[in-house]
């Protein structure tokens, strides 16, 4: 079974690439983030023609998440139970479902903007709510994983130059502690350590030729419980999909399971 997560940075802008990637990779379940479209604009029919059904949580602004599956979608939960609001709104940043033999969450963690910003406080509160929301699934016997754009680099080796990020979001002790707390629910990072590939970043800013220079960050993560991680046979970043005209600024992270 092949599962992936991908911040597509607008599903409408990326649709031709998305459809081609699904066809070429044979992915069974894809967790999407930053769909940037309202639910009524979501290309459900184009995906259905490829054999995929979708569960969507989107409002058309700068976030939005989805689960795309060709192995079923059951027990869908839209939103983050107990999650905080930002400026009076619970943003569409989480969706979960059972896809065949596995239970999955697609999450788009708030960016945080700046350490002194209200959005950073919101980010930490959101991660705390996520930990509480996934605890029961993580402790169960069913293979379970939380996948998505976490907007946190777990360690210094996950950014191209740690010195340049001092005092900025994505690398602060509080954000990394929140990830560590999430892992305490019995979840593990499925990307192998030591890393199988040299500097397997998942995000490269469009500016300053960051991708050709490999000045990136690893912020798109897959955290699985013990039954999930025991089934992992391979995990990798599909850097090829970050290349060329019209690419997202994120690359897909792919996990192959033997279930």
For every one of its 259 residues, what pLDDT tens digit does the chain have, with 9 covering 90 and above?
Answer: 999 999 999 999 999 999 999 999 999 999 999 999 999 999 999 999 999 999 999 998 889 999 999 999 999 999 999 999 999 999 999 999 999 999 999 999 999 999 999 999 999 999 999 999 999 999 999 999 999 999 999 999 999 999 999 999 999 999 999 999 999 999 999 986 666 566 689 999 999 999 999 999 999 999 999 999 999 999 999 999 999 999 999 999 999 999 9
Q: State yes or no: 250 annotated in a binding site.
A: yes
3-state secondary structure of 125: helix
Residues annotated catalytic, as ranges:
108, 149, 250
The span from the CA of 162 to the CA of 146, in Å, is 26
Q: Does domain 2-257 have CATH number 3.60.10.10?
A: yes
Q: State yes or no: 7 annotated in a binding site.
A: yes
| Buried-state track 146-165, b at ≥16 Cβ within 10 A, e below 16 | bbbbbbbbbeeebbbeeeeb
Q: State yes or no: 198 annotated in a binding site.
A: no
Q: State yes or no: 249 annotated in a binding site.
A: yes
């Amino acid at each position: 079974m092949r599962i992936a997560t991908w911040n597509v940075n607008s599903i409408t802008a990326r649709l031709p690439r998305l459809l081609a990637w699904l066809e070429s990779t044979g992915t069974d379940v894809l967790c999407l983030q930053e769909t940037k479209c309202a639910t009524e604009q979501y290309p459900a029919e184009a995906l259905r023609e490829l054999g995929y059904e979708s569960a969507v949580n989107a409002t058309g602004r700068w976030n939005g998440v989805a689960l795309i599956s060709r192995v079923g979608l059951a027990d869908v939960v839209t939103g983050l139970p107990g999650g905080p609001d930002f400026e009076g709104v619970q943003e569409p940043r989480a969706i979960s479902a059972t896809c065949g033999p596995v239970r999955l969450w697609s999450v788009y963690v708030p960016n945080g903007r700046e350490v002194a910003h209200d959005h950073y406080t919101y980010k930490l509160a959101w991660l705390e709510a996520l930990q509480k929301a996934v605890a029961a699934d993580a402790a169960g016997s069913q293979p379970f994983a939380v996948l998505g754009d976490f907007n946190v680099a777990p360690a210094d080796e996950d950014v191209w130059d740690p010195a340049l990020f001092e005092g900025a979001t994505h690398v602060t002790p509080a954000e990394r502690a929140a990830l560590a707390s999430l892992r305490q629910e019995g979840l593990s990072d499925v990307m192998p350590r030591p890393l199988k590939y040299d500097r397997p970043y998942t995000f490269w800013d469009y500016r300053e030729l960051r991708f050709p220079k490999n000045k990136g960050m690893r912020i798109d993560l897959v955290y699985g419980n013990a039954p999930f991680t025991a089934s992992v046979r391979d995990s990798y970043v599909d850097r090829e999909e970050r290349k060329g005209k019209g690419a997202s600024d994120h690359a897909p992270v792919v996990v192959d399971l033997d279930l």
